[in-house]
Structure 1
Amino acid sequence: MELIEGIPADELADEDLLRELESLGRTRVQTLRHGSDDALHMHTERSRELEREYLRRFPQREIDPQRTREGARAEG
């Protein structure tokens, strides 16, 4: 695995992990539109790292029915 800036995901407290994920979500479009290729690659890799850790910690996460195909179709 290549070097990713920041504290390794598995060393973050739950609240810090969530804060990091939210921060990356807010900055994604700006990085995509205006960041260098290296910045975009780093952003993508960090996102993957944090998302994998979230799913490892919370495998039974609550799924919002509206965020599924069936739920979205039922609403429409």
Structure 2
Amino acid sequence: MTMGIDPKDLSEDDLIRELRQLHATRTDTFLHGSADALANHSTRTEELEEEYLRRHPERQVDPERLREGARQR
């Protein structure tokens, strides 16, 4: 169940803004939110992240974020 605007209907700027907001509030929701709030937060984050990946299947991946990059550090 989508809470808010369907991610497919968001502009690119709105999608990024929503993702940043959810990531910024994750810890607070995890530590202090109710079980329902955490479940809703998780669901919405998953919806938005899936939409971002759908739009950007070839997104840039930082080599330092891969296992090989971590081993080289």
Q: TM-score range by the shorter chain?
A: over 0.9
Separation in structure 1 between the aligned mates of residue 30 and residue 57 of structure 2, nearest angstrom: 29
Identity of aligned residues (%): 52
Structure 1 stretches of at least 4 aligned residues deviating more than 4 Å after TM superposition: none
Task: Specify every segment of 5 or more residues in structure 1 that has no aligned partner in the other structure, as ranges.
Answer: none
Matched pairs, number: 73
Q: Secondary structure at the match of 2:23?
A: helix
In the superposition, the TM-score normalised over structure 1's length comes to 0.92
1:68 maps to 2:66: yes
Task: Specify every segment of 5 or more residues in structure 2 that has no aligned partner in the other structure, as ranges.
Answer: none
In the superposition, the TM-score normalised over structure 2's length comes to 0.96
Partner of residue 11, structure 1: 9
* Residue 56 of structure 1, aligned match among 54, 57, 65: 54
Separation in structure 1 between the aligned mates of residue 51 and residue 29 of structure 2, nearest angstrom: 22
Partner of residue 24, structure 1: 22
